[in-house]
Amino acid sequence: MGAGEIEVLCTLTDATVTVMPADTVSVTGWGRTAPTTARLVHPCTYEEAAAAVRGWGTRGGIPRGLGRAYGDAAQNAGGAVLDMTGLDRIHAIDVDGGTVLCDAGVSLHRLMEVLLPLGWFVPVTPGTRYVTVGGAIGADIHGKNHHVSGSFARHVLSFELLTADGGIRTVGRGTPLFDATAGGMGLTGVILTATVRLQPVATSLMSVDTERAADLDDLMARLTATDHRYRYSVAWIDLLARGTSMGRSVLTRGDHAPLDALPARARRHPLAFRPGQFPSAPAFLPEGLLGRTTVGLFNELWYRKAPRARAGELQKISTFFHPLDGVPHWNRVYGRGGFVQYQFVVGYGQEEALRRIVQRISVRRCPSFLAVLKRFGEGDPGWLSFPMPGWTLALDIPANLPGLGTFLDELDEEVAAADGRVYLAKDARLRPELLAEMYPRLGEFQSLRRELDPRGVFTSDLSRRLGL
């Protein structure tokens, strides 16, 4: 499948240069911190993308999808940013075998719209559907099924990569370029198309078990004991709770509902995908809406409203996986100052470090209402891929919180000392010296980059900040 497209890609010539729309704009990540200015280029064809890459000047460029990376991964001060969302065609779907060949700019939302009626689902989805396939590979994203299914790149069979020389290569699994690109934050080249293996589903509903955990130890015990029974598992954790209830949580775990679990009415359209949406968050909101009081109140209510134990509740895909997608631009609730998302993983056996970190966050009263804890399964071979077997905690914090920078630096030290790491797709503030400790294969990544891209054509604010 798709052989025709690949032939065409490989015979690109310079003759097909066209004038592309480009505008100079201020760009930030989803956290809306550290804005920088770049030329935003909107290619609609592979030829235009290749022409853009060949024409980049000394400050280089970086591909960008839907801008859901929280930090500075998809911005490039003074250079170019390649808006990939114009390359959004789905080329071929193998309905029997369960694979899809699509452009890198296709969003997981679009894939769900197209694939669910056919009985297929994306292999991995993060907390938002609004990420592109290219971004999913570049950040090697994970979802609630990581303990079973691994990260996104595990399900990618091959992709087409536009490299710094302007050429296009087909990259298959098991090659160094594949492993450098999976989690490589767009720095090895521009993914143009990808072939992805899909997950079969009988219905578009989820069967969800909910339970509460009274504290962190209870939570970890429950996750350890029964996670293997569920394909999807995550725990929302109240990081403002103190004392004996520190780490109290609500676990939501489940799987795709089988057809016979649906009520008769729903069985008529078992694969319908109707996410539904609220109005957007307003463009200007004051800062400090999410302070300790409001978040504390929210967390209290959220915990109390969750059932102590409930099994087999049917939920929509959007409710289970992507509750925040219901409010477009929800990131605006943090106001002009934006927010920082901190996500780290520490391996199994490092539970003490996790406990210390949760305690520090709780003692410091960081107002975080979007904190989740999850157990990861086996890691994948991506050199800069984030997941590894262990515990991962993700939390959002308003960037304006005084002293937050120093506090997160201290958490980094704990994480690094426990042989853990932080997630680059969410990072906007890591101390560069810690990167090599956290990602032992950083050296290989850097030398592959030097070889493949000696002039540094692919550059982002993230790569400048951390010396990637």
Q: How far is the CB of 26 from another protein (least distance, A)?
A: 6
Q: How far is the CB of 429 from another protein (least distance, A)?
A: 4
Rounded to whole angstroms, the Cα distance separating 267 from 251 reads 27
The interface region with another protein, picked from 85-93, 249-257, 325-333, 457-465 by CB under 8 A, is 457-465
Q: Does 33 bind another protein (CB under 8 A)?
A: yes
Residue with tokens 């450098």: 180
Using the minimum distance from each CB to another protein, give the nearer residue, 59 or 173.
Answer: 59
Query: 6, exposed or middle or buried, with CB in 10 Å at 0-12, 13-18, 19+?
Result: middle
- Write out the binding residues for another protein, residues 334-353 only, by CB under 8 A: 336-338, 340
Using the minimum distance from each CB to another protein, give the nearer residue, 276 or 402.
Answer: 402
Report CA-CA distances (Å) from 355 to 92, 145, 393, 424, 434.
Answer: 47, 23, 11, 23, 21
Q: Does 22 bind another protein (CB under 8 A)?
A: no
Neighbours of 438 (CB within 10 A): 21
Q: Does 26 bind another protein (CB under 8 A)?
A: yes
Q: Does 37 bind another protein (CB under 8 A)?
A: yes
Q: Does 406 bind another protein (CB under 8 A)?
A: yes
Rounded to whole angstroms, the Cα distance separating 111 from 302 reads 31
Q: How far is the CB of 32 from another protein (least distance, A)?
A: 9
Structure tokens at 167: 């050429």
Rounded to whole angstroms, the Cα distance separating 212 from 219 reads 8
Our CA angle for 22, 27, 30, nearest 5°, is 130
Our CA angle for 441, 444, 450, nearest 5°, is 145
Q: How far is the CB of 339 from another protein (least distance, A)?
A: 9
Q: Does 72 bind another protein (CB under 8 A)?
A: yes
Rounded to whole angstroms, the Cα distance separating 268 from 259 reads 10
Q: Does 456 bind another protein (CB under 8 A)?
A: no
Rounded to whole angstroms, the Cα distance separating 277 from 54 reads 40
Q: How far is the CB of 102 from another protein (least distance, A)?
A: 32
Using the minimum distance from each CB to another protein, give the nearer residue, 223 or 457.
Answer: 457
The interface region with another protein, picked from 161-169, 244-252, 374-382, 459-467 by CB under 8 A, is 459-467
User: Which residues are within 8 A (CB) of 263 and not within 5 positions of it... i.e. 6 or more apart?
Assistant: none
Q: Does 279 bind another protein (CB under 8 A)?
A: no
Rounded to whole angstroms, the Cα distance separating 13 from 166 reads 10
- Write out the binding residues for another protein, residues 76-115 only, by CB under 8 A: 76-79
Q: Mask 421-450, x = binds another protein (CB under 8 A)?
A: -------xx-xx------------------
Among 129, 208, 127, 135, which Cα is nearest to 370's?
127
Q: Mask 346-385, x = binds another protein (CB under 8 A)?
A: ----------------------------------------
Q: How far is the CB of 324 from another protein (least distance, A)?
A: 20
127-155 in b/e form (b: 16+ CB < 10 A) is bbbbbbbbbbbbbbbbbbbbbebbbbbbb
Q: Does 153 bind another protein (CB under 8 A)?
A: no
Using the minimum distance from each CB to another protein, give the nearer residue, 103 or 396.
Answer: 396
Binding residues for another protein, rule CB under 8 A, total 32
Q: Does 405 bind another protein (CB under 8 A)?
A: yes
Q: Does 71 bind another protein (CB under 8 A)?
A: yes
Terminal alpha carbon distance of the chain = 35
Rounded to whole angstroms, the Cα distance separating 304 from 12 reads 60
Choose, by CB under 8 A, the member of 36, 170, 315, 446 that binds another protein: 36
Using the minimum distance from each CB to another protein, give the nearer residue, 223 or 428.
Answer: 428
Q: Does 61 bind another protein (CB under 8 A)?
A: no
Rounded to whole angstroms, the Cα distance separating 441 from 176 reads 12
Using the minimum distance from each CB to another protein, give the nearer residue, 42 or 426.
Answer: 426
Q: How far is the CB of 337 from another protein (least distance, A)?
A: 6
Rounded to whole angstroms, the Cα distance separating 418 from 350 reads 6
Q: Does 35 bind another protein (CB under 8 A)?
A: yes
The alpha carbons of the chain give a radius of gyration, in whole angstroms, of 22
Using the minimum distance from each CB to another protein, give the nearer residue, 98 or 338.
Answer: 338
Are the beta carbons of 376 and 145 closer than 8 angstroms? Answer: no
Interface positions with another protein (CB under 8 A): 26, 31, 33-38, 59, 71-72, 76-79, 336-338, 340, 399-400, 402, 404-406, 428-429, 431-432, 461, 464-465
